[in-house]
């Protein structure tokens, strides 16, 4: 049976072809673990955007004397950073005099005393207006002036906020977000077309970093558009991992 084989052939070790597949599998698992670690750190860490949601804490209470109306600051929190250009200003107004029929509430810009909005409200309720089209990276100051139906009046303290700024503009940046998604899709397409493991790994890194940045700096949790695109970013991470798995095991030319 072995008559036609020389001694070298008989003693040569049998090659194991499973080693490359094992290395590829371990590499995919390692990359997936790194991606999971980054995402968990983003969403569980104390600095996540979900922790910036305010629940009425740090309320500034104004207690004017006599028959004057009263006011409490609700939003935005004084000296806070907001993630939208259209900022909702909210005061809780009330009057201890049960004979008061209404309270006239006027929101002013502090620096110029320009009227932002004028509203008429009943007592014991929140009064809100929207200060639209604010500039990213700018600090704003405002105050409220209250006057009740009995002639009593009161001016609140001066409150401030600033509008957050990022390289994509502000939250709900439609074109900036889609440009970022377009870059991710392009890198994914190149990796699949070239069947390149390097391109696939690069697309995973870019997608994870983009998703982390989007959730922590860009996304406004109150925006349906932002929330929907957040799910798109998350789905792309799994697609890039699947693409890497396909290229490494089945897509080699």
Secondary structure of 191-211 in HEC code, one letter for each residue = HHHHCCHHHHHHHHHHHHHHH
Q: Which of 94-108, 120-134, 145-159 has the lowest mean pLDDT?
A: 94-108
Contact 183, 233 (CB under 8 A): no
Q: What is the pLDDT of residue 53?
A: 37
For residue 172, pLDDT over 60 is answered with no
Q: What is the pLDDT of residue 40?
A: 57
Confirm whether 92 is domain-assigned: yes
For residue 127, pLDDT over 80 is answered with yes
pLDDT in tens, 29-50: 667 667 666 655 555 444 433 3
Confirm whether 19 is domain-assigned: no
Q: What is the pLDDT of residue 26?
A: 63
Confirm whether 110 is domain-assigned: yes
For residue 128, pLDDT over 50 is answered with yes
Confirm whether 11 is domain-assigned: no
Residues of the chain by 3-state class (helix, strand, coil), percent to 5 = 40, 25, 35
Contact 62, 154 (CB under 8 A): yes
| Helices (H) then strands (E): counts for the chain | 5, 10
Q: Using CA atoms, how far apart are residues 35 and 237, in angstroms rounded to an integer?
A: 8
Contact 146, 153 (CB under 8 A): yes
Please return the burial class of 90, using the count of CB atoms within 10 Å of its CB with bins 0-12, 13-18 and 19+. middle
| Statement to judge: residues 130 and 38 lie in one domain | no
pLDDT in tens, 176-210: 777 778 888 888 888 778 888 888 888 888 888 88
Where is the domain boundary, 163, 191, 222? 163
* Domain hosting residue 198, numbered range: 27-50+167-249
Q: What is the pLDDT of residue 41?
A: 56
Residue 244: pLDDT band (50, 70, 90) is: confident
Q: Using CA atoms, how far apart are residues 243 and 31, in angstroms rounded to an integer?
A: 13
For residue 240, pLDDT over 70 is answered with yes
Report in angstroms the alpha-carbon separations of 12 from 6, 20, 220.
10, 20, 65
Number of domains, the chain:
2
For residue 55, pLDDT over 50 is answered with no
Contact 154, 64 (CB under 8 A): yes
Which two tokens mark 214? 């989007």
Question: Judging by DSSP bridges, how do beta strands 87-94 and 70-75 pair with one another?
Answer: antiparallel
pLDDT in tens, 203-226: 888 888 888 887 776 666 556 677
Q: Between 159 and 244, whose confidence is greater?
A: 159
| Statement to judge: residues 213 and 126 lie in one domain | no
Q: What is the pLDDT of residue 47?
A: 40
Q: Using CA atoms, how far apart are residues 44 and 8, in angstroms rounded to an integer?
A: 60
Q: Using CA atoms, how far apart are residues 117 and 216, in angstroms rounded to an integer?
A: 32
CATH number, residue 126: 2.60.40.10
Confirm whether 2 is domain-assigned: no
């Amino acid at each position: 049976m072995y008559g036609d084989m020389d001694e070298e052939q008989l003693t040569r070790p049998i090659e194991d072809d499973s080693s490359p597949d094992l290395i590829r599998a371990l590499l995919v698992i390692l990359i997936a673990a790194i991606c999971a670690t980054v995402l968990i750190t983003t969403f569980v860490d104390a600095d996540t955007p979900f922790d910036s949601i305010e629940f009425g804490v740090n309320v500034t209470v104004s207690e004017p004397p006599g028959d004057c109306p009263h006011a409490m600051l609700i939003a935005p929190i004084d000296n806070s950073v907001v993630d939208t250009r259209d900022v909702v200003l909210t005061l809780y107004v009330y009057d201890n005099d049960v004979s008061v029929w209404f309270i006239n509430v006027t929101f002013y810009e502090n620096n110029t005393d320009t009227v932002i909005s004028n509203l008429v409200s009943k007592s014991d309720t929140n009064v809100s207006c929207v200060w639209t089209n604010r500039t990213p990276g700018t600090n704003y100051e405002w105050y409220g002036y209250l006057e009740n139906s009995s002639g009593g009046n009161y001016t609140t303290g001066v409150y401030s906020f600033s509008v957050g700024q990022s390289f994509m503009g502000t939250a709900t940046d439609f074109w900036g977000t889609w440009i970022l998604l377009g870059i991710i899709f392009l890198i994914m397409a190149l990796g699949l077309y070239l069947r390149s493991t390097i391109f696939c790994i690069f697309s995973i890194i870019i997608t994870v970093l983009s998703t982390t940045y989007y959730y922590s700096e860009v996304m406004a949790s109150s925006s349906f558009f932002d929330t929907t695109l957040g799910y798109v970013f998350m789905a792309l991470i799994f697609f890039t991992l699947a693409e890497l798995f396909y290229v490494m095991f089945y897509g080699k030319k």
